[in-house]
Amino acid sequence: MYGRNPGLGGYTLCLALFWVLAIISIGAAVADDGVEEYTFWDDDVVVDIDTERSINFLSCACYGLSELREVALRAGAPGIEDTPDGLGERLLRSRGNWQILSATRHVILPTQPVHVSHLMVLKCLRQEGCNDFLFILPFHEAMQTNGITAIDGDSKSTLQVKLIRDIARVKNDCVHVLPDDQYQSFKDDATCRDSCYPAVYQVQLEETIQPEATTKVRVEYYLGKPYSPWQSRLKLGEQQRVAFGITTLLPSAYHSISQKTRFIVMSELNIDVESLHVYATLTEIAENIFLCGPFEKVELLSSGEPMVLTIDCNDSLEYIPELHKRISVPMCPFSGHIQIAEHYVVYNDASPVEGHFSLETLREIDRNEDNHRGGGNFVTYMDALFPQQASKLRYFDDIGNNARAYLIDKNASHNYKSVHVGDIWLAAQLCAAASEVPAAGRMEDIVHGAVPPAEMHTEIKKGIRIYENR
């Protein structure tokens, strides 16, 4: 009589389970990437372009600095109400800690984003010594950036920065639309009193600065949406002009002995000052270098006068007002890849071009770009960043058409590779454990086919990117 071997039965069961999982895993690997299953669209997104353009808040930013200055200088006085976080009193206490001997602001145009740097020489006036200082970022600049970087002028090391007061949510009531209102006085509406207060940062120094001693610090940041279209419409091939708003003075929490602003223009272009203010002027001190100032004895939180520069710029002005991400994780680790979908709402704020957009229009754009003429404010390509492990890239539009060929630059960075394509809709499969997709701000250009400059308030382009990770 023969008995059953329990070990053999368990082995057979494990072997069968192994083959089932292997078949499922192989099937998931060779199966379709399921892009259509994970695509999603939101047709209800509305972009209020007036509240997106930072230049429309230039006058409000100056007004906010003026209001905060009054609060700070009169903090604690009867009838004077401080900000809820006590910022006015803090500015009043710290105003005597430092004196800015010199401050130079450098602005590089017409790059996107715009790089701004402040070079400051500070003198400590506090008897106990100084180990930190406050940096003021006006509202219209703070709404374009997510932070600043501070660097010690001697050691070149990066200093610790802390945001102690962020800007408030943008209010449409505080919009000062350009160019229609460029010479009109900003309405001193009570609703805008604290809406356009600046952002305030605290910069921690490497070591305590002794009384009457000096230190050098460089503060840098980037403006993500610096330009607004100057013309309401363009003819094909016509030179596009954009507006860039800035204050004549460098707002600071301390008294400044001298300050000035240098504009470094990267190419030959026409630059004009659109302002009736007395001090809003530029002087060309060298080839492609313009100077505003110098200004002497500048008190705390002084903005000076709003200054609008108009410059030649044939580039598109696209940005991403909204980004949505969807992540789908399979129940079984062997059943497939993790699906990650990113939905971008993209807006091209360049001046609309008159006439019907067609393939002939696109050919004319290509000819104009080759000859360095106008027309480049159309978006005809994109450079997206993918993790190095991304493979089997497939690009498609919203109705399933395949996109044009793409080029891959694997040397874009250590962790990412750059993909140059002609359409926004794309998909990718990651074949190894991997990295997070880059943030929207890392994408240089976003496009569906050839995207003409959008009609203001209405035209919005959308896209999705899906990749899989196992």
pLDDT at 124 over 70: yes
Q: Which of 227-236, 291-300, 352-361, 393-402 has the highest mean pLDDT?
A: 291-300
The mean pLDDT value of the chain amounts to: 74
Question: How is the chain split into domains, by residue range?
Answer: 50-312, 316-469
What is the pLDDT at residue 8? Answer: 58
* Mean pLDDT in residue range 108-133: 95
pLDDT at 196 over 80: yes
Residues 6+ apart with CB under 8 A from 274: 179, 182, 243, 308, 309, 310
The three-class DSSP label of residue 48 is coil
Q: In the block, which residue shows the tokens 């969807």?
A: 326
Find, among 104, 35, 137, 108, the residue nearest to 264 by Cα: 108
pLDDT in tens, 399-455: 555 554 556 666 666 666 666 655 433 333 332 222 233 322 223 333 333 344 543
Q: Which of 32-36, 87-91, 294-298 has the highest mean pLDDT?
A: 294-298
What is the pLDDT at residue 45? Answer: 57
For domain 50-312, the CATH class is mainly beta
Residues 6+ apart with CB under 8 A from 107: 114, 115, 116, 246, 261, 262, 263, 264
Structure tokens at 137: 């970022």
Residues 6+ apart with CB under 8 A from 9: none
The band of 14, judged by pLDDT with boundaries at 50, 70 and 90, is: confident
* Cα dihedral 168, 324, 406, 352 in deg (nearest 10): -50
What's CA 318's distance to the chain center, in Å?
11
Structure tokens at 196: 């356009």
Q: In the block, which residue shows the tokens 């949510």?
A: 169
* Mean pLDDT in residue range 159-182: 74
Count of CA atoms in the C-beta half-sphere (13 A) of 299: 8
The three-class DSSP label of residue 26 is helix
Question: Helix 58-73 and helix 87-94: axis angle, to 10°?
Answer: 70
62-76, 244-258, 333-347, 416-430, range with the lowest pLDDT = 416-430
> How many helices (H) and strands (E) in the chain?
7, 22
How many other CB atoms sit within 10 Å of the CB of residue 420?
15
What is the pLDDT at residue 54? Answer: 86
pLDDT at 36 over 50: no
Asked whether the CA dihedral 358, 362, 363, 368 is positive or negative, the reply is: positive
Question: How long is the chain?
Answer: 470
What is the pLDDT at residue 395? Answer: 59
pLDDT at 342 over 80: no
What is the pLDDT at residue 320? Answer: 75
* Mean pLDDT in residue range 172-201: 65
Let me know the angle formed at the C-alpha of 372 by 371 and 373, rounded to the nearest 5 degrees: 90
Whole-angstrom Cα distance, residue 436 to residue 340? 10
| Residue 24 backbone phi and psi in degrees, to 5 | -65, -45
* Cα dihedral 11, 13, 15, 18 in deg (nearest 10): -140
59-63, 113-117, 218-222, 368-372, range with the lowest pLDDT = 368-372
Question: In a 10 Å sphere around its CB, with 0-12 CB exposed, 13-18 middle and 19+ buried, how is residue 406 labelled?
Answer: middle
Above pLDDT 70, what percent of the chain? 58
What is the pLDDT at residue 149? Answer: 97
Helix (H) or strand (E) holding 221: strand 214-223
pLDDT at 251 over 50: yes
What is the pLDDT at residue 142? Answer: 95
* Angstrom distances, CA of residue 70 to CA of 34, 97, 169, 299, 409: 60, 19, 22, 12, 54
Contact 161, 203 (CB under 8 A): yes
* Mean pLDDT in residue range 378-391: 66
What's CA 241's distance to the chain center, in Å?
21
What is the pLDDT at residue 173? Answer: 63
Residues 6+ apart with CB under 8 A from 444: 382, 383
Asked whether the CA dihedral 272, 276, 277, 283 is positive or negative, the reply is: positive
* Angstrom distances, CA of residue 194 to CA of 51, 143, 191: 16, 15, 7
